[in-house]
């Protein structure tokens, strides 16, 4: 079933992020760390990038949301992710999982599935191939890039949502956000955004910011993807290439207000 979210609901969600500046704890990859932190600052949230296992419980205790991104994996980081995820789950802190590269290697797929099993994420955001790989182990991705469209992955996303209880977000030319029954779509953005590394990871971080202030994970995810799409579309209108798009994207996030959204 497809439904719509009012502009007022989206505007209120952005206003809450701006007014409360939630602390978003990110365990994310080296490639996207700076981009994600700057995007969170631009939208009005407060980022912390921490992965040391021994401080996970204390860090999670003060965070409004936890974002787990498996982009650059090693054994110690995996243990930190699991420790943070378990601590967040005990506190009912929203958890957003980005299964980067699921389907590229058995290790990545297995790690993402382990986090889902042990930490029970509130929201799972990935590209088409990643989401499909979490449902069908035979799906393969091109490294961290998708070999499947977001539309092709919708059925798998709905299955994954029903199985895990998480809201599942597929990013692509059209973004799909589903809880297994209700599905929202977000149009817009720009094809140029795929030429900037870490854009998907950035969208996951933004989902974390909105999840920290919106108790409805479906609304939070939709608002975050709408903000991501609008900022990218506006920046692409005057960007000369992917470098200026990246800077313009942050500027557009910074200048976005509830009224303009």
pLDDT of residue 144: 47
Q: Where do the structural domains in the chain lie, given as residue ranges?
A: 7-255
Q: How far apart are CA 225 and CA 43, in angstroms?
A: 13
pLDDT of residue 235: 94
Residue pair 95/124 in contact (Cβ under 8 Å)? The answer is no
pTM (2 d.p.) = 0.94
Long-range contacts at 27-30 (CB < 8 A, ≥ 24 apart): 27/51, 27/66, 27/67, 27/68, 27/69, 27/77, 27/80, 27/81, 27/84, 28/67, 28/69, 28/71, 28/98, 28/201, 28/204, 28/205, 29/69, 29/70, 29/71, 29/72, 29/100, 29/201, 30/71, 30/72
CATH architecture of residue range(s) 7-255 = 3-Layer(aba) Sandwich (3.40)
User: Which structure tokens are listed for 253?
Assistant: 């996030």
Per-residue pLDDT of the chain (261 residues; tens, 9 = 90+): 666 788 888 999 999 999 999 999 999 999 999 999 999 999 999 999 999 999 999 999 999 999 999 999 999 999 999 999 999 999 999 999 999 999 989 999 999 999 999 999 999 999 999 999 999 866 665 544 444 567 789 999 999 999 999 999 999 889 999 999 999 999 988 999 988 989 999 999 999 999 999 999 999 999 999 999 999 999 999 999 999 999 999 999 999 998 887
């Amino acid at each position: 079933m497809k439904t719509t979210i009012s502009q007022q609901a989206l505007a209120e969600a952005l206003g809450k992020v701006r007014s409360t500046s939630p602390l978003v704890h990110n365990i994310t990859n080296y490639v996207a760390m700076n981009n994600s932190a700057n995007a969170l600052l631009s939208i009005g949230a407060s980022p912390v990038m921490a992965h040391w296992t021994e401080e996970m419980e204390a860090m999670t205790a003060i965070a409004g949301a936890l974002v787990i991104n498996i982009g650059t994996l090693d054994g110690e980081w995996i243990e930190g992710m699991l420790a943070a995820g378990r601590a967040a789950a005990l506190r009912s802190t929203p958890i957003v999982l980005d299964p980067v590269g699921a389907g590229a290697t058995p290790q990545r797929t297995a790690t993402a599935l382990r986090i889902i099993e042990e930490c029970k994420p509130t929201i799972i955001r990935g590209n088409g191939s990643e989401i499909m790989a979490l449902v069908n182990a035979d799906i393969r991705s091109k490294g961290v890039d998708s070999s499947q469209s977001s539309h092709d992955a919708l059925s798998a996303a709905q299955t994954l949502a029903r199985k895990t209880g998480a809201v599942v977000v597929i990013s692509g030319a059209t973004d799909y956000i589903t809880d297994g029954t209700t599905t929202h779509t977000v149009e817009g953005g720009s094809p140029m955004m795929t030429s900037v590394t870490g854009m998907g990871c950035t969208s996951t971080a933004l989902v974390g910011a909105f999840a920290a202030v919106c108790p409805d994970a479906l609304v939070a995810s939709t608002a975050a993807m709408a903000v991501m799409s609008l900022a990218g579309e506006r920046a692409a209108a005057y960007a000369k290439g992917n470098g200026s798009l990246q800077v313009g994207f942050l500027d557009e996030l910074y200048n976005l207000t509830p009224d303009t959204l």
